[in-house]
Amino acid sequence: MAHILIVDDSPTDAYLVKNILESQGYQTSEASNGEEGIQKAKEIKPNLIIMDVVMPGLNGFQATRKITKSEDTKSIPVIIVSSKDMESDRAWGLMQGAKEFLVKPVKQAELLATVKKLIG
């Protein structure tokens, strides 16, 4: 089954997403900030990354840009899942290379449909 990296500084939000994904048989790994997310993306080479935006240090927009522009990780699709729900945030996230932008609290059906769309 596909391996998904969850990058979120909120243990509660990461736990929620992890439970949704693992209940469907996906393997998950976690990172608690943008820098760690980039590092794990390079090490693990997951099939997909779920990225929060508001994190200490490197934010999710910056981490997404680095992942999607780097030669060794640019093929990994990124879904931004954020509490920021302005249209400008969505547009900016997609401009950084994210394939999709979902708003927290993420709905199980919406998350799973988006994951399936991107990695089958």
User: What domains sit in the chain, N to C, each tagged with a CATH number?
Assistant: 3-119 (3.40.50.2300)
**CA 31 to CA 23: how far, in whole Å?**
20
Residue located via tokens 């999710």: 60
DSSP letter for each residue of 23-35: HTT-EEEEESSHH
Those residues whose C-beta lies under 8 Å from the C-beta of residue 50, and which sit 6 or more positions away, are 4, 5, 6, 7, 8, 17, 78, 79, 81, 111
* Percentage of the residues of the chain whose pLDDT score is greater than 70: 100
Find out whether 27 and 71 touch, Cβ atoms under 8 Å: no
At 90, is the pLDDT very low, low, confident or very high (cuts 50, 70, 90)?
A: very high
Section 87-116 average pLDDT: 97
